């Protein structure tokens, strides 16, 4: 286990403490995470890298309240997520977390605008839908259905959807994973802008180490364990990242 080394003045937003996750698949147990401890600071851009199957998605799901741990605890600020009731978990997801998925997961028979509305209708103080779409530069495509949009455009709609309910924490699961180089960069730029302009905390996972260059901090995972954790004093803007 490696200790967090960052500046102690930073406020801890998320804390994972000896988290383990084992999937039971019939007879066999798959240990996706074992004994992971990690702090995420408010307002940082944290990138987790690791090969496919190393447990990145699992961590993100646990942190976002989509799945339950089999060992250890997770805190968000001073509240223990792992002790939440289902109703509290739902509220947590609704009010605190914004998710961005590798395959965008837009609702196929809703337009871009409606996909964002699905999220804003849940929120007490949401962003304006058009405003959210403008942030990702998609306001002129808002009446298109997902099938009429390219992958990058769909992903930007998905980002708008995550943003629109003004979450504190953005969790991005390989947001560029199914995008081409140039489109991927645009999406990354959007995410970085959000962090810088709106002060969001962004946790982004990727199997692409190059992307780590734009992070404030990098966590490296292998076989369900944190193998490396380091600060990146000079993050590169996405435009300069190459892969």
Partner 1 sequence: MKTLDRKLLREVRGHLGMLLAVTSIIAVGVTCLVTMVSAYMNLAEAKQLYYAQCRMADFSIELKKVPLAELAPLAAMPEVAELRSRIQHSVTVDLPGVIEPISGQIYSLPDQRRPVIDDIVIRQGSYFTDRRDNEVIVNEKFAKAHRLRPGLWIRMLLNNRQQELFIVGTAISSEFVYLIGPGAIVPDDKRFGVFYMKRTYAEETFDFEGSANQVLGRLSAAAGGDSREVLRRAEDMLSSYGVFTTTPLEDQPSNKFLTQEIQGLKSFAVIIPCMFLAVAALVMNVLLGRLAQQQRIVVGTLKALGYSDLQIFRHFLKFGLIVGIAGGLIGCGLGWWLAKLLTALYGIFYQFPELHNRLHWSVLAVGMLVSAGCAALGSLRGSRAVLRLHPAEAMRPSPPRRGGAILIERIGWLWRSLGSGWRMVLRNVSRSRMRTAACIFAAAMGACVLVNGFMMQLSLGFLIDFQFQRIMRSDIDLTFNDERGRDALAEAARLPGVNRAEPTLNVACTFINGWRRKKGSITGLLSDATMTIPRDIEGRRLRIPAHGIMMSRQLAKSLGIERGDLVGVEPIKGQRRLCSVPVVEISDSYLGTAVYADIQYLSRLVDEEFAISGVQLAVDRNPVHRAALYRELKRLPAVQAVSSRADMIRNLEDILKTQSIFIAMLVLFAGIVFFGSILNASLVSLAERQREVATLRVLGYGPWQIGSLLFRESMITTILGTLLGMPLGYLMTLAIAAEYASDLFRLPVVTSPGLWILTMVLAIVFGLITHLFVQRTINKMDWLDALKMQE
Q: Judged by CB, which is closer to partner 1: 97, or 194?
A: 97
Of 46, 58, 120, 217, the one binding ligand ADP by CB under 6 A: 58
Q: DSSP H helical segments within the chain, as ranges? A: 56-63, 86-95, 112-120, 129-135, 151-164, 181-198
**Bridge partners for 23 per DSSP:** 30
3-state secondary structure 108-172: CCCCHHHHHHHHHCCCCCCCCHHHHHHHCCCHHHCCCCHHHCCHHHHHHHHHHHHHHCCCCEEEE
Q: Is 87 in the site for partner 1 (CB under 8 A)?
A: yes
Task: Find out whether 195 and 33 touch, Cβ atoms under 8 Å.
Answer: no
Instruction: Check residue 96 and report its DSSP letter.
Output: T
Q: Is 20 in the site for ligand ADP (CB under 6 A)?
A: no
Of 1, 29, 30, 107, the one binding partner 1 by CB under 8 A: 107
Of 15, 141, 161, 217, the one binding partner 1 by CB under 8 A: 161
Q: Judged by CB, which is closer to ligand ADP: 100, or 149?
A: 100
Q: For residues 57-76, which are near partner 1 according to CB under 8 A? A: 57-58, 61, 64, 66-68
Binds 97: which of partner 1, Mg ion, ligand ADP, none (CB < 5-8 Å by kind): partner 1
Contacts with ligand ADP by CB under 6 A lie at: 23, 25, 30, 32, 50, 52-58
């Amino acid at each position: 286990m490696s200790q967090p080394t960052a500046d102690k003045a930073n406020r801890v937003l998320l804390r994972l403490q000896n988290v383990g996750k084992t999937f039971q698949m019939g007879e066999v147990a798959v240990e996706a995470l074992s004994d992971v401890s990690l702090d995420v600071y408010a307002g940082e851009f944290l990138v987790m890298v690791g090969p496919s199957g190393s447990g990145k998605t699992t961590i993100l799901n646990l942190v976002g309240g989509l799945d339950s741990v089999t060992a250890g605890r997770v805190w968000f600020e001073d509240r223990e997520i792992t002790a939440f009731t289902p109703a509290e978990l739902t509220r947590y997801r609704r009010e605190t977390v914004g998710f961005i998925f590798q395959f965008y997961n837009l609702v196929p028979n809703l337009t871009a605008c409606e996909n964002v509305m699905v999220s804003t209708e849940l929120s007490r103080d949401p962003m304006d839908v058009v405003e959210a779409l403008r942030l990702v530069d998609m306001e002129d495509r808002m009446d298109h259905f997902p099938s009429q949009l390219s992958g990058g455009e769909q992903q930007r709609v998905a980002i708008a959807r995550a943003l629109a309910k003004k979450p504190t924490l953005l969790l991005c699961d390989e947001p560029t994973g199914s995008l081409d180089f140039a489109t991927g960069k645009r999406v990354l730029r959007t995410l970085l802008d959000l962090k810088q302009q709106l002060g969001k905390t962004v946790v982004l996972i990727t199997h692409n180490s190059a992307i780590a260059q734009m992070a404030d901090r990098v966590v490296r995972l292998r076989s369900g364990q944190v193998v490396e954790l380091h600060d990146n004093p000079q993050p590169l803007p996405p435009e300069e990242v190459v892969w």
